[in-house]
Amino acid sequence: MSIVFEARIKNRGESPHDWFIELTDTIDNRMEICNNLEEFSKNIEVLGENYGGHIDEVKWSQDENVTAEQYSEINAGMRKYQEELNNDSNGR
C-alpha cells in the first residue's frame, strides 16, 4: 500500500502571506490545516507516524485563486526546508 498525502494550497486573501495548506492523509482522510510551513512540517511528521514515518508521496495542488506571489513564497520555503533536511541527513 502506497502512503500518499495531498497538500492543497489555498488562498485566504490577496496578501502574499494570506494562504494555508490543507494536508490530507488519503488512507484515512484525516485533514490538517497548516497556516505556515512550520505547521505543515509538524503535521506531516505527526500524520506520518502512523506509517512508521514512511510517506511515499505528497501530491501538491493549488486552488485557482492562489496568486503567483503566494505560490512563490511557499515554493521558496519548501526548497529551503528540503535543503535543511538534506543537510541534516548528510551530516549524520
- pLDDT, one tens digit per residue, over 41-62 is 999 999 999 999 999 999 999 9
pLDDT at 19 over 90: yes
Task: Show the domain range for 18.
Answer: 4-90
3 pLDDT tier (thresholds 50, 70, 90): very high
The tally of domains found in the chain comes to 1
Rounded to two decimals, what is the model's pTM?
Answer: 0.86
71 pLDDT tier (thresholds 50, 70, 90): very high
Where does residue 34 rank: exposed (0-12), middle (13-18), buried (19+ CB within 10 A)? buried
Work out whether the CA dihedral 85, 88, 91, 92 comes out positive or negative. Answer: negative
Average pLDDT of the residues in 25-49: 95
CA dihedral 29, 31, 37, 42 (to 10 degrees): -80
pLDDT at 78 over 80: yes
Question: What DSSP designation does 64 have?
Answer: T
